[in-house]
Amino acid sequence: MDGGVELTKYRMWIGGEWVEAASGEHFPSDNPFLGKPWALIPKGGAEDADRAVRAAHRALTSGPWPKMTASQRGALLRRLADLIGPEATRLAQIEVRDNGKLYAEMSAQTAYMAQWYYYFGGLADKIEGSVIPIDKPDTFNYTRHEPIGVVVAIIPWNSPLLLTAWKLAPALAAGCTVVLKPSEYTSASLLEFVRLIEQAGFPPGVVNVVTGFGADVGMPLVEHPLTAKVAFTGSDRTGQLIYQHAAKGLKRVSMELGGKSPNIVFDDAELDNAVKGVISGIFAATGQTCIAGSRLLVQRSIHDQFVEKLVAFAKTARMGDPMSLETQVGPVTNPPQFRKILDYIDIARNEGATAALGGARATRPECGQGWFVEPTIFTGVKNSMRIAQEEVFGPVLSVIPFEDDDEAIAIGNDVVFGLAAGVWTQSMRRAFRMSERLQAGTVWVNTYRAVSYLSPFGGYKRSGIGRESGQEMIQEYLQTKSVWISLATEVPNPFVIR
Ligand code: NAI
Ligand code: MG
């Protein structure tokens, strides 16, 4: 109870049943716009993690799932995709209530995520092994691509259901079973979403959801001996920790971590488009995206003119209730993130950067008690400063001038991350050359923040391991078996390798 208002109480989904945490405890999940709790989430621990991984392992090795043909698995995925459309609005409303991102964005995301289930549903029965023209006489050799096993998918709070789809759809298409662990800040939408999985007819235990905090329940999932693979999206630091612990069991990992992506504007760019691209890179989603274009590299000859245009545009951004379609910048998702952003604003100032816009908590009346930060643009930033090197994950842009193409590349690549980059130019030659030389898993030219189920997404350098989306990435959930069948009538000399 909270001031007489009943909070929505959720349960976890393990082995096809709605269950409480073994501890019987719950923790509150906040509404970032109101700055207060709205739901109660089960506080899972090691015992729940064990229960969920065992349920997933049982479903992997017995019952209907391993007997299903790939076509049948694909049909289930497509049925799930069909169920998403009518529920997309409701799911988006829950996401907005829980993470404060704009309804305009989240409703588009929840509708679009169905495409991952259609796409990987279609791909499920197109994973073919090969017959090898083997060099041994009287021998038949072929390969099979088999599911890697139980997958633990750990999800962050910024786009819970979309980032779930990026992992869940290929894992199921590959024949794996899955334990999902949503962020402690945004567990509700996934707990609602699994109802659709149940409705689609996936056998019990194929998909499980355990909730709780990273150290309590996330790490036991990673370390569980029956876990074969960990698919993670989140912070650089947690990603490294999970990688270390997964290594002890020689588990496979795929990791999508943060970034410090450069958005590079040349003097030959269409400047009004570039302004919009830079805005979408850093102020959309309140900057809480891994692909945020948090460093604006702008050619010195147009620096002052471009910053002036950018500030003028950013000033008009409407803040307030994320459910309103008028709102352009919503609140920050949680108090630690809110404090982190304000800390980085202080760090930037102390390093000698100048706030050309914003640089404080937003106290506009339409922001109420929510966790809002003013869209912030720092000029006078050197690439060696912490504000240019470290991920803020908020609406804070660092502007860094450059002279020519070589310097743009040198500065652009001079960070530990390599998730994405933007290039704004009208020169085709420059567009190709920059795309080749930028150390980033995604390069956008004259656009920013485009993603698709068809196109691989992931990080260079410390931004990650592996890719999500696109055909090839299904291999992240498969392992290859080589089968040898002798047709010889007699086993030859047993003391000699063949
Ligand atoms: P986090 O990386 O700690 O959390 C992501 C997920 O990992 C959550 O589900 C969390 O419960 C889980 N987790 C945390 N510690 C764990 C552990 N020891 N073992 C297993 N699972 C664990 O990120 P957090 O604290 O929510 O945000 C911190 C920073 O991470 C942000 O300021 C931002 O810079 C970055 N971030 C990056 C995201 C991305 O899309 N790349 C998404 C969210 C945050
Ligand atoms: Mg919340």
Please check whether residue 245 is in contact with residue 223, taking contact to mean a CB–CB distance below 8 angstroms: yes
For residue 31, the CA-to-ligand 2 centroid distance in Å is: 5
Nearest atom in ligand 1 to the alpha carbon of residue 237 is: 2
Percent residues over pLDDT 90 in the chain: 97
DSSP state letter for 319: B
Q: Give the C-alpha distances (Å, rounded to integers) separating 464 from 21, 122, 389, 432, 468.
A: 32, 27, 16, 24, 11
pLDDT at res. 291: 97
pLDDT in tens, 149-158: 999 999 999 9
Question: Whose alpha carbon is nearest atom 29 of ligand 1?
Answer: 235
Ligand sitting nearest the alpha carbon of 158: 1
Is the model's pLDDT at 498 over the cut of 90?
no
Average pLDDT rounded to a whole number, residues 190-201: 97
467 vs 496 pLDDT, higher one: 467
From 105, 176, 184, 290, the catalytic residue: 290
Q: In this structure, which residues have their CB less than 5 angstroms from ion ligand 2?
A: 29-30, 98, 185
**pTM exceeds 0.85:** yes
Question: Whose alpha carbon is nearest atom 30 of ligand 1?
Answer: 235
- Output the CA angle 278-285-423, nearest 5 degrees: 25
Torsion angle (degrees, nearest 10) of CA 286, 290, 293, 297: 140
290 in catalytic set: yes
pLDDT at res. 6: 87
Strands 131-132 and 139-147, how do they pair?
antiparallel
Is the model's pLDDT at 170 over the cut of 90?
yes
Q: How far apart are CA 302 and CA 399, in angstroms?
A: 12
Q: How far apart are CA 365 and CA 368, in angstroms?
A: 6
Average pLDDT rounded to a whole number, residues 23-35: 97
pLDDT at res. 473: 95
pLDDT in tens, 250-297: 999 999 999 999 999 999 999 999 999 999 999 999 999 999 999 999
Question: Whose alpha carbon is nearest atom 13 of ligand 1?
Answer: 214
256 in catalytic set: yes
CA 368 to mean position of chain CA atoms: 29
SS3 455: coil
Ligand 1 neighbours by CB, cut-off 6 Å = 154-158, 181, 183-184, 213-215, 218-219, 222, 233-235, 238, 241-242, 256-258, 290, 337, 340, 391, 393
DSSP state letter for 447: -
Is the model's pLDDT at 3 over the cut of 60?
no
For residue 159, the CA-to-ligand 1 centroid distance in Å is: 12
pLDDT in tens, 102-123: 999 999 999 999 999 999 999 9
**Residue 479: enclosing H or E segment and its boundaries?**
strand 478-486
Average pLDDT, the chain: 97
pLDDT band, very low/low/confident/very high, at 2 (cuts 50, 70, 90): very low
